[in-house]
Amino acid sequence: MRYKLTMRIDIISVVPELLESPLAHSIVGRARKKGLVEIHVHNPRKYGIGPRHNVDDYSYGGDAGMVMMIEPVYKVIEELKAERDYDEIIYMSPDGEVLSQGIANELSMMQNIILLCGHYKGIDHRIREHLITREISIGDYVLSGGEIPAAVVTDAIVRLIPGAITDETSALSDCYQDNLLSAPVYTRPVEFNGWKVPDVLLSGNPVLIQKWQDEQALERTKRLRPHLLDK
């Protein structure tokens, strides 16, 4: 396996509370505890403007809604860049490239990345023009802030870091990893309410089981995500 230092993800957010739980539990929480990834959240409010440490202001042109100001975000990014090099400085944006397993795979190979969360009406466009290297969306709909999208991107990345998932092969057999959806999975009991687990899974024959799983994966992909088969 390729050697790499512990990956580091810095998330910039004016509502860091929104990120607490998703980054503290389950696979992401355990990966942090195991030292597989370092995740740090930074609030631009510490560089907020004026006595009230404002981070947003009215938009020029009079559109409704507040806009995140450049200076506090600029200062956080500069502070981070002074400490280390970043592979990407990513703005979470509804008009960015749409997140996919391929992008998650790519990002999981990186050493240091920044995820910038917008809030309110968005961020001063000069941040996007001059400081950001990439923009990622989690889908064609609008959320209230970039925190949930940043948590989604972080989760998608971290579960790919070797060791994050106890069963090493588990992430590889996930949907999308080879442009195929996953086969259905079952656990005990064998029968519930008269609903049975497919016989082949109880056969104990690994060749037959693999064949069934491959057929299921192909059938589900054809039916649910046919475009994956064009790739």
Please give the residue ranges that form the binding site for ligand SAH (CB under 6 A): 92-95, 117-119, 121-123, 137-139, 141-143, 145-146, 149
Shortest approach of ligand SAH to residue 11 CB, angstroms?
11
Alpha-carbon distance values, 106 to 25, 51, 195 (Å): 24, 42, 40
User: What is the DSSP code string of 55-75?
Assistant: -EEEPTT--SSEEE-HHHHHH
Q: Return the number of the residue (8 or 119) whose C-beta is nearest ligand SAH.
A: 119
Q: Report the residue number, 123 or 183, with the smaller CB distance to ligand SAH.
A: 123
- CB of 118 vs ligand SAH, minimal distance in Å: 2
CB 157 within 8 A of CB 104: yes
Q: How far is the CB of 70 from ligand SAH (least distance, A)?
A: 14
Q: Compute the least distance from the CB of residue 145 to ligand SAH, in Å.
A: 5
In the complex, minimum distance from the CB of residue 116 to ligand SAH, in angstroms, rounded to a whole number? 7
Select 142 or 207, whichever has its Cβ closest to ligand SAH: 142
Q: Which residue is nearest to ligand SAH (CB)?
A: 118
Of 44 and 118, the one with the shorter C-beta distance to ligand SAH is 118
By C-beta, is 28 or 150 nearer to ligand SAH? 150
